[in-house]
Amino acid sequence: METTPKRSSGESSDGLRQSLGDAIRFWEPRRLAYNAILVVVTLFWVLVSWPHFRPALTLSSLFLLAILALLANLCYCTAYFVDIPIQRSALGAVWRNRRWILWSLGTLFAMVLASYWINDEIYPFVH
C-alpha cells in the first residue's frame, strides 16, 4: 500500500504566499492602466456630450464618481480569486503566460459597463 507524503501546513502556506506574491506582481502594475483606460472612457463620454453634462459637475457628483471608481477597483480585485487557484493548479505554468487574456477581457468588460452606466443610468437623469 502506497502512501503519498502529506504536505505540512507550512509548506502549503509558503506556496500560497508565493502565489499571492506572483499575483500581486502581475496585477497591481496593470491596475494603473485599467484605471487610466476607465478615465479615458469616462472623459470621452462627458466630452462628447459636454453641454448636457455641464450642470451635473458638482461637488456631490464628484463624490459619487469617486465611489464608482472605488467600486471599479473592487471589481478589479476579483481577478485574484481566479488567478491564485489556477496558479496553484496543474495549469499554473501555462496560466502565468496567458493571464493577460483575463486582464484584457476584464478591462474590456469594465469599459463596456462604464459606457453603459454613463449612457443608460446617468445621462438620462442629468438635467
**pLDDT of amino acid 119:** 82
Residue 78 belongs to a domain: yes
In a domain, 117, yes or no: yes
Record the pTM: 0.81
Domain that holds residue 102: 36-125
- Given this model, what pLDDT does residue 3 score? 54
Sign of CA dihedral 94, 77, 41, 32: negative
Q: Measured between alpha carbons, how far is 13 from 50 in angstroms, rounded to an integer?
A: 52
Q: What is the mean pLDDT of each run of 10 residues along the chain (127 residues)?
A: 52 86 97 97 89 80 88 96 95 94 96 88 64
Question: Would residue 24 count as lying in a domain?
Answer: no
pLDDT at 83: 96
The domain total for the chain is 1
Residue 63 lies in a domain: yes
pLDDT on residue 22:
96
Stated length of the chain = 127
Residue 30 is assigned to a structural domain of this protein: no
Asked, for residue 28, whether it belongs to a domain, the answer is no
Per-residue CA distances from 20 to 14, 46, 85, 99, 102 (Å): 10, 37, 10, 14, 17
Q: Is residue 75 part of a domain?
A: yes
